[in-house]
Amino acid sequence: MIRFASGRRTMSGVSVWSCLQPITRAPNCTTKAQLLFHSQVSSVLMPSRLTPTNRLLSIRPVSWPTSRLCHGDSRRTSETANSKGGFSLRALTQAPKPALYLGFSGLIPFLSAPLLMAATQSFYPELAYVQVVYGASIVSFLGGARWGFALPAGSPAKPDWMNLGNSVVPSLLAWMALLCRDNIAEGALVVIMGLGLSLHYDLTLLPGYPSWFKAMRTLLTLVATFSLVATLTIKKFCTEKKIKDFQN
């Protein structure tokens, strides 16, 4: 019989550790009595079921592969980027063909004016003003496109003061650019300001456009802006002539 005395286990008044000494000294027991005694002591000292503490200690640590964690983070990052309207130039492959053809063909009036003046090494005020007028019409169109996007039912852009109110600003800038007929430089700068402000609205302040449209808008705005900068550069370094001299 086993009883507990003073915080340690004893068997019939004899310490368990003293009972273990003959077992450790003579592990190869041959008698049935010694084998029975060894099994009883082993059942007392080493129970078959683990205690809760031993179970906790026996749990092996779980390790996750680094590649799986990185793959999950990248997938979560991409999903977050898509939900926030993130885009890249690769999204142009998803653009409809009519939008691509019409959008990039709209750069022809922007690029033709500085290319023609660079070929003749002369600055023509009438040709530069035509470029400014076309740029002003594009700026006004970009403002009106927000109205057309926000008004239909179910659109991600709500017809609130933020969307509709800020869409009027590009049209006002286009009107101011047309008033600068006697000063081409000021008109071109106002158009550049309108193009940049419209792009800022569409990318950050007024989200809702698809990724391919944002990528196309960014590329078209950059090309149009550089064409106006090229016209201002030609005005500064080339001789000013009238369009009548070019015809003669």
Verify that 156 and 219 share a domain, yes or no: yes
Asked if pLDDT for residue 50 goes beyond 90, the answer is no
157 and 36, same structural domain?
no
Q: Is 76 within the bounds of a domain?
A: no
Residue 157: inside a domain, yes or no? yes
Average pLDDT of the residues of the chain:
76
Confidence of residue 247 (pLDDT cuts 50, 70, 90): low
> Are 135 and 199 members of one domain?
yes
Among the listed residues 100, 87, 65, 33, the one whose alpha carbon sits nearest the alpha carbon of residue 208: 87
Please state the domain count of the chain.
Answer: 2
pTM: 0.65
d(CA 14, CA 170): 99
And the tokens for 212? Answer: 């391919």
Res 23 pLDDT > 90? no
Reply yes or no on whether the pLDDT at 124 is more than 70.
yes
| pLDDT top residue among 17 and 150 | 150
**Residue range of the domain that includes 13:** 2-49
Whether 101 and 200 share a structural domain: yes
Residue 174 vs residue 32, higher pLDDT: 174
